[in-house]
Amino acid sequence: MTTDADGDPKAVWDTTRSFLDDRSDAESALEGLLETDAAHDTWTFDDLELDSGTFGELVSQGIVEKVDGEYRVADREAIEAALAGESIEVDDEGKTGLFSELDLSLDVDPRAMAGLAGALVFLFVMRITQYRSVFRGDDVVSPGNDPYMYRYWMNELLAVSSDPTNLEVIANMPSRAGGTRPLSHAFNWWFAAILGGDQWAVDMVAAWLPVVATLALGVVVYKLAVVVTRDVRVGIASVVLLAVAPVHAVYTGVGFIEHRLHQYLWLGVTLLTLAWLAMDIQTRAEGGDQRSAVLGHLRSPMTWLVAGVLGLSLGISAHLWGGSALMFIPLAAYIGLRAVVDAREGISPTLANLPVLVGVAVGAAISVWLHTNWEWHAGFVAYTPVLVFAGALAVLALGEVWRRWQLHPVGLVATEGALAGIGLYLFRRIRPEDWIELRGRMDDLFLRERYTESVSLFTFDYGVIFGPLIQLGVGFYLGMAVFAWVALLAYRHYEPGWLLLVVYTGFWLVIATIQVRFAAQLIVPLSVLGGIGFVYLLSAVDIARDPTVFRDEDPTGAVADGGRRSSISVPGGTKVSYLLVIGVLVCGFGLIYVPSLTSQITYTDAEYEANQAIQEFEQDVDREYPENFVLNEWPRNRMQNYHVNGESDFYSFADDNYNDFVSGTSPDESYTDFGDRVGYVVVSERGESVPSGTTQEQLLNVLGAGEQGLAHYKLLTVDDDHTIAAFAMVPGATIEGETGANESVTVSTEVTVDERTLEYERTVESDEDGNFAVTVPYSGEYTTGDETVTVTETDVVDGETVSLGD
């Protein structure tokens, strides 16, 4: 390395940074300077394509120095670091070892950091578009139905203990919590316990953990992009595309507490660790001895630290949700294809992938330990990492055979496919019970039919091509264009980093084609590819330089923690306008559909007010569950019950009974049939014509009042448009009296609900002795003929009898 006259690389770095800040053409001038310097030991002014003024400035500032009548750069590494937005590291004995090799820190270029900060702020804003629908007074009203199951289990586990160090709580979770999503519940409980363990803590975790986890994922995606592309601009663009992916925003918006926020984050961590391991060995192998590169990779302490993080990530991923086995399919495919490309390149597959193998082993150990000691998850899911580890050993051994005998790689791919088929067959024969459970779990994942998230990403409802635009934005097609290019690159050359993104993107694309909800996993690797396309689009209109991966120069640098990273230049003049226009074009669909799609799963003012009315009534009557169960449509059932009675683990009763209830014709008979199982009913508009005489029509349109009111349905609230109405189911007060034999008797009163006055009447016939009895659900003064009777709220709630004339 050359140095300036004072032997101070830091001074050269400072001067270069000042030169970059002062001149708009500085980057192109310095890049040309470095190209010339790389081609010659020393050179003359005529070798450069610079004007004399710029060259004189470079010499006067010490960036270029004169040697024996010719010139050379004063410190190449310092200039490259300044161009890349990196700090200059001066050799020092105390800075060797693990931390000198660590490249999981963020770049220190202020402009790059400002760009990342801006992208993260944008990501934050796109995840809180429904803030007002979630934060309502003192309540946190999570969107959707399933988040209330997770909130329920937070409350249940905190009721056992709010001490975050008391691991017995999660070690002895009920099977309902520990059987499918144990670690998601454990994480949620732990964060709530850290915040104090009260209801406020539960509400804050429910509201903000999805957003915080998504911001963490944004940082991971940025780093993943920079590790693979060596271009901070791609990293920032990747975060922007993640921000405007509507399907991801739906599942990670404010208040949407679920397993998905954990799943997406640890998927990102898995990709980042695999990418670092792939890029480190790739860059060590370029331009040097391959065996030395592999040995250097294995001798690096950083390699084993990253392998350990990979193992932790895999062990965690195995216990986050019911479909955790899916997370290991692309991993297995990647290891199998890595063995192929390593063998083709003449690199030992076993040695090159030993850190990955160790990571899988660590993940398998964690997964199995949690299953055997804490009885977490189903056995076949917990042992999935073990199967991947065994399969990895087999394919890497095959790779060694292919490398030593220099066989055609297609044969290895075919052999690996056959091996996978044999493995599945043996699993089915040896573990038939696990196979049946696996089939059931897969059916549950892929054969759902009545959920909006179960349609294909390419649904015909949106003309095939518009489905990805609505769910993922323009970034989908930018990413797919780059996907095709990097897939070809990985096929033709030794590019394990691109291979990783191709495998994961391809896998989740296939799964999202089956069900659109998996498009949220797809966007994690696809955002990096889309980020490359975004930067390339800007370069095509001369707003930015080409992405590093599209240049003729080496796109990767020297090692995974080194090399040229393209920093950010701020365009001036009309280019700013062009940048904004292209940004709107790329992000426009997301800016429209993120608020639109997320609003579809939030609760309306009318739904919230119905819940408030029920809570107020429940506070007065104080019934025990299930006497205070709220019956409504199943997609909203958990929300209503969580806020009223705290029981939101299941919605099966509502799912089984609500449709039959509202399509029936005898609401009061339904009251008798339900007995003490239902305390409240919320009836909502169904978007279809309502047959006359049905319970839906009697409750939502007539409000249980009119000339033939209902006996057991007390209206608590109804919105102005009659789209939703809430009723308390009460025994009712029975009014008794005497009149002529077999005569019709009408009792009536006026009822005021939400400043709306209703005429409530009921007509019955007296018996042969002239006695009559009529049950009413409202308190107040009732009249029949010339007589009146007063019914109290206690009479209504307790089912008391009131005699006419008392």
And the tokens for 725? 């109405």
Q: Of 517, 550, 583, which residue sits at a domain end?
A: 550
- Among 78-92, 299-313, 363-377, name the one with the lowest average pLDDT: 78-92
- Asked if residue 594 is part of any domain, the answer here is no
**251 and 236 within one domain:** yes
Bond before 777 cis per omega within 30 degrees: no
pLDDT band at residue 288 under the 50/70/90 scheme = low
Does pLDDT of 233 surpass 90?
A: yes
- What is the reported pLDDT for 69? 67
- Asked if residue 106 is part of any domain, the answer here is no
Q: Provide the 3-class DSSP secondary structure of residue 306.
A: helix
**734 and 722 within one domain:** no
**735 and 701 within one domain:** no
Question: How many Cα atoms are found within 13 Å in the side-chain-facing hemisphere of 407?
Answer: 16
User: C-alpha distances in angstroms, 366 versus 361, 372, 404, 458, 569?
Assistant: 9, 10, 34, 37, 45
pLDDT band at residue 563 under the 50/70/90 scheme = very low
- Among 58-62, 66-70, 227-231, name the one with the lowest average pLDDT: 66-70
**394 and 250 within one domain:** yes
**769 and 669 within one domain:** no
**151 and 263 within one domain:** yes
Domain that holds residue 681: 622-729
The three-point CA angle 279-283-287 to 5° equals 160
**192 and 302 within one domain:** yes
**407 and 360 within one domain:** yes
- Asked if residue 602 is part of any domain, the answer here is no
- Asked if residue 556 is part of any domain, the answer here is no
- Asked if residue 724 is part of any domain, the answer here is yes
Give this prediction's pTM.
0.86
Q: What is the percentage of the chain residues whose pLDDT exceeds 90? A: 69
Q: Of 664, 696, 729, which residue sits at a domain end?
A: 729
- Asked if residue 607 is part of any domain, the answer here is no
The CATH number of residue 773's host domain is 2.60.40.3390
Q: Say which residues have a Cβ less than 8 Å from residue 775's Cβ, sequence separation at least 6.
A: 711, 712, 731, 732, 733, 734, 735, 762
**128 and 66 within one domain:** no
**769 and 674 within one domain:** no
The 10s digit of each residue's pLDDT in 105-155 is 444 578 888 999 999 999 999 999 999 999 999 999 999 999 999 999 999
pLDDT band at residue 87 under the 50/70/90 scheme = low
Q: How far apart are CA 234 and CA 139, in angstroms?
A: 40
- Among 48-62, 581-595, 600-614, 774-788, name the one with the lowest average pLDDT: 48-62
Does pLDDT of 707 surpass 90?
A: no
Q: How far apart are CA 329 and CA 553, in angstroms?
A: 35
Question: How many Cα atoms are found within 13 Å in the side-chain-facing hemisphere of 8?
Answer: 8
The 10s digit of each residue's pLDDT in 167-188 is 999 999 999 999 999 999 999 9
Does pLDDT of 553 surpass 60?
A: no
- Asked if residue 366 is part of any domain, the answer here is yes
Q: Provide the 3-class DSSP secondary structure of residue 503.
A: helix
pLDDT band at residue 52 under the 50/70/90 scheme = confident
The 10s digit of each residue's pLDDT in 250-259 is 999 999 999 9
Pairing mode, strands 713-718 and 780-784: unpaired
Number of structural domains (the chain) is 4
Neighbours of 45 (CB within 10 A): 13
The 10s digit of each residue's pLDDT in 185-203 is 999 999 999 999 999 999 9
Q: Mean pLDDT for the chain?
A: 89
- What is the reported pLDDT for 83? 79
Q: How far apart are CA 64 and CA 74, in angstroms?
A: 5
- What is the reported pLDDT for 30? 84
The 10s digit of each residue's pLDDT in 412-470 is 999 999 998 998 888 888 888 878 877 777 776 666 666 677 789 998 888 789 999 99
- Asked if residue 774 is part of any domain, the answer here is yes
**629 and 703 within one domain:** yes
**75 and 207 within one domain:** no
Q: Of 533, 550, 567, which residue sits at a domain end?
A: 550
Alpha helices in 493-604 (DSSP H): 496-514, 519-540, 574-599
